[in-house]
Homo-oligomer: A and B are copies of this chain.
Amino acid sequence: MKGIPRPPRAILFDVFGTVFDWRGSIIDEGRTWGEERDIDVDWARFADEWRGRYRPSLDRVRRNEIPWTKLDDLHRESLRAISANFKIALSEEEAGHWNRVWHRLKPWPDVVPGLTRLKERFTIAPLSNGNLSMLTALAKHAKLPWDVIFSADLTKHYKPDPEVYLGASDFLDLAPEEIMLVAAHFYDLNAARALGFQTGFVYRPLESGKGGSADKAVPGQFDVVANDLVDLATQLRA
């Protein structure tokens, strides 16, 4: 805990990649779905192309090129494009079901035990670009013990816009210095740190699959550098 002036009172967590294995979850669902229909698709590529449209779609909102649109709807628009690319014909109902794969993601195995320990000592909540209904469904599906949920639609801004981080600080009645953001991605932690938040890095080497790229922090690069959420709990004495 070098560099931490005092323990945080609340810990906020990035969700996609940090808490959930979105890529593995989509590949697993795709394989089952494809086998049942005898549809042969490279589901890893499908997952990567879907997620690849995530940041560009958020950025269109962030640059005000399109009005506020929640992530469920951005995902749906991206799904339309990639299902065409992969020559997968989806009915409206099937597209709706597929889009809600983002409500059924599997957490990394350390997440529930880590959060359960952290909740004993800290207020814990997601701080995600997901919309509230999506984050609520994800938490219910994975039995995550959040104390409260912070979604992008509360402030109608996407990370790394400062409004997202500062909105959570306002709602919690805590100063940024009293809050730690935990994420597997440098861009998110750097944005929070610039606003005065404490930062906790969690290494997720498999987010983009074996051999995929992943941010990897060196000791001291953030207030806490952890291998997973159980290690984070230990380092924070929870």
A223 contacts across to B, CB distance below 8 A: none
The 8 Å CB contact of A136, one of B131, B133, B172, is B172
Contact segment of A45-53, A87-95, A146-154, A230-238: A146-154
- Count this chain's copies in the assembly: 2
Contact residues in B for A154 (Cβ distance below 8 Å): 154
- A interface SS class: helix
- Cα–Cα, bound, A111→B147 (Å): 17
Q: Does A172 lie within 8 Å of B133, measured CB to CB?
A: yes
**A132-B148 contact given A123-B140, A140-B123, CB 8 Å threshold:** yes
Cβ distance A133 to chain B, nearest Cβ, rounded Å: 4
Give the bracket for the number of chain A residues in contact with chain B.
Answer: 10 to 19
CB-based contact B149/A148 at 8 Å: yes
The 8 A CB mask of A106-150 against B (1 = contact, 0 = none) is 000000000000000001000000011101100110000001110
CB distance from A146 to the nearest CB of B (A): 8
- What residue in chain B is nearest A136 (Cβ atoms)? B148
Q: Which residue of B lies closest to A125 (CB)?
A: B136
Q: How far is the CB of A55 from chain B (nearest CB, A)?
A: 23
A-B pairs, 8 with minimum CB distance: A133-B173, A132-B171, A136-B148, A148-B149, A133-B172, A136-B147, A140-B147, A123-B136
Which of A's residues lie within 8 Å of B, judged by CB? 72, 123, 131-133, 135-136, 139-140, 147-149, 151, 153-154, 171-174
